[in-house]
A = this chain, B = another copy of it.
Amino acid sequence: MSQNYNAAMLALGQAPSVIRETFEYGNRRAKEIGRENVFDFSLGNPSVPTPQSVQDTICRLVNTCDPIALHGYTSAIGAESVRAAIAANLNERFDARLSAADLYMTCGAAASLTITLHAILNPEDECMTFAPFFPEYRVFAEKTGATFTVIPADTDSFQMNLEAFEKMISEKTKAVIINTPNNPTGVVYTEENLNALCKLLREKSAAYGHPIYLIADEPYRELVYDDSTVVPYLTKLYDNTFVCYSYSKSLSLPGDRIGYIVVSPKMEDNRTMYAAVCGAGRSLGFVCAPSMMQQVIAENLGITADLNVYRKNRDLLYNALTEYGFRCIYPDGAFYLFVQALEDDAKAFCQKAREMELLLVPSDSFGCEGFVRLSYCVSTEMIERSLPAFKKLAESYR
């Protein structure tokens, strides 16, 4: 007889999350010394409110729509009109050449990823990603029964390490997850780096005689701070691409759980792969994406929360920390700063930082040692108040 529970699920439920542990320490500490004296850079939650137009749309729909339709099921794949509107917006912005039939609405980024992974992976397959990476990728991929392999980081540029990738890819490789702008580094992969990856994927697909799918996890697509930085639309660079998107960051709606999957129309056996996505969504229990939020999104396409706040925070923090002698990866996007720890052990460095009331996340859980992640989706004022502590931290290592 098996155990009373599923052991893998229990292990996940009991696994301590460093990020959450840090956040909870911060709450306890705030009670002891006052919230204004704790500098919590642990959580990646939007700190900018959703646009007023989103708020207005919610109330307008509630006051004007048939409630049975507004709060009723859409079709499992999402409302046709919503999918058509999103496709049109992506076509306008990126010349993406999508139609409503290429989109599948989801309950946010995590759902986009798990549905895609379950649609394509079998237990004998391998899914790869590039370090440093969002740690839930491993949880999501391993739930399918497939193997999850991490390609070591290029700790100079934090672009994808394609040299290591070429050595590690094998006939078992079925999917590669990429995340640009990247959590936890904030780095935007260059077009050159992306093109080189896609070229390799094409060559290896041909050599192994089966498609290798590219899964682009893009919740930070709109969070790019330098006008010259381009985040290419991946379906244009590589045919066998799934794009996983969420409005959590761009519209500051993480709690409302709304996003989508794009199954590239140029994908081999596109309709078959789309059907596999539908089957995976059904079997995991995602019946339809939140229906009122589908309508809200469709009426707020092309709008974002005020992302200038993040740009300002990025500049403030990056400039100060480099001035104090920290080595930081320059972040073009997302809302994270990846900073080299001032000793080999990033966890010990984070403990030292705590003595100065700075709450940072060690990079180990992102698959890359010796760094710390700072989330700068916090108030600008807290960053300003925290700077003397960072200065003191740097000095303590001299």
A70: chain B residues within 8 A (beta carbon) = 255
Cβ of A5 and Cβ of B273 under 8 Å apart? Answer: yes
Residues of B within 8 A of A121 (CB): 6
Point out the residues of chain B lying under 8 angstroms from A110, CB to CB. 285-287
Interface size range on A against B: 35 or more
Question: CB-defined interface of A59-73 with B at 8 Å, one 1/0 digit per residue?
Answer: 100110011101111
* A63–B59 CB distance below 8 A: yes
Residue numbers in B under 8 Å from A122 (CB-CB): 2-3, 6-7
Query: Is B282 a contact partner of A284 (Cβ separation < 8 A)?
Result: no
Q: How far is A172 from B74 in the complex, measured between Cα atoms in Å?
A: 38
A283-B12, A292-B256 given; A50·B71 CB < 8 A: yes
Contact stretch, chosen from A41-49, A156-164, A188-196: A41-49
Residues of B within 8 A of A292 (CB): 255-256
- Are A279 and B9 touching (Cβ within 8 A)? yes
Nearest CB of B to A27, in Å:
12
CB distance A283 to B9 under 8 Å?
yes
Q: How many chain copies?
A: 2
Residue of B nearest to A282 (CB): B12
**A:1-50 near B, CB below 8 Å:** 1-15, 45-50
Contact with B along A246-258 (1 / 0, CB 8 A): 0000001111110
Q: Is A198 an interface residue (CB 8 A)?
A: no
List residues of A (162-177) whose CB comes within 8 Å of B's CBs.
171-172, 174
The listed residue (B1, B73, B209, B284) touching A210 by CB distance below 8 A is B1
Question: Can you show 20 pairs from A to B with CB atoms below 8 A apart?
Answer: A1-B209, A4-B210, A4-B268, A5-B120, A5-B273, A6-B118, A6-B121, A10-B119, A12-B279, A13-B119, A13-B274, A13-B276, A13-B278, A14-B275, A48-B68, A58-B59, A68-B252, A107-B290, A136-B282, A139-B283
Query: Footprint of B on A, CB under 8 Å?
Result: 1-15, 45-50, 55, 58-59, 62-63, 66-68, 70-74, 107-108, 110-111, 113-115, 118-122, 124-125, 136, 139-140, 142-144, 171-172, 174, 208-211, 252-257, 268-269, 272-280, 282-293
